[in-house]
Amino acid sequence: MTLRDSVAGVHIIVEGRVQGVFYRASTQSTALSLGLGGWVRNLSDGSVEIRAEGQEDSLERLITWCWQGPPGAVVRDVRTTKVPVSKAFSGFQIRY
């Protein structure tokens, strides 16, 4: 097992035109395809918040995807913070 194969956690804030463009649903689909657990939700300031756990390489791919997002999104910034792994997630949920 290499370091890139280790399990990690990340908290992500995505800013820009990311609400009303299916960003949450697209994030869920992308995260599930990468085998990640966690959740995504809209914040009142217009940004999107993501909490994800899984293989480090998959998390890196999710972060890279966040910079583009779905068609219609205009991403201005993606801020990431590593967080402890909770292992509390089964699947990847959209939170309201």
Q: Could you report the per-residue pLDDT of 27-57, keeping only the tens digit for each?
A: 999 999 999 999 999 999 999 999 999 999 9
Please tell me which residue in 42, 51, 61, 79 is annotated as part of the active site. Answer: 42
CATH architecture of 3-87: 2-Layer Sandwich (3.30)
When pLDDT is cut at 50, 70 and 90, the band that residue 6 belongs to is confident
Neighbouring C-alpha atoms within 13 Å toward the C-beta of 66: 28
Cα–Cα distance for residue pair 51/69, rounded to 1 Å: 16
Q: Which of 24, 51, 61, 76 is catalytic?
A: 24
What percentage of the chain reaches a pLDDT higher than 90? Answer: 90
Residue 4 annotated to the active site: no
Q: Is 24 a catalytic residue?
A: yes
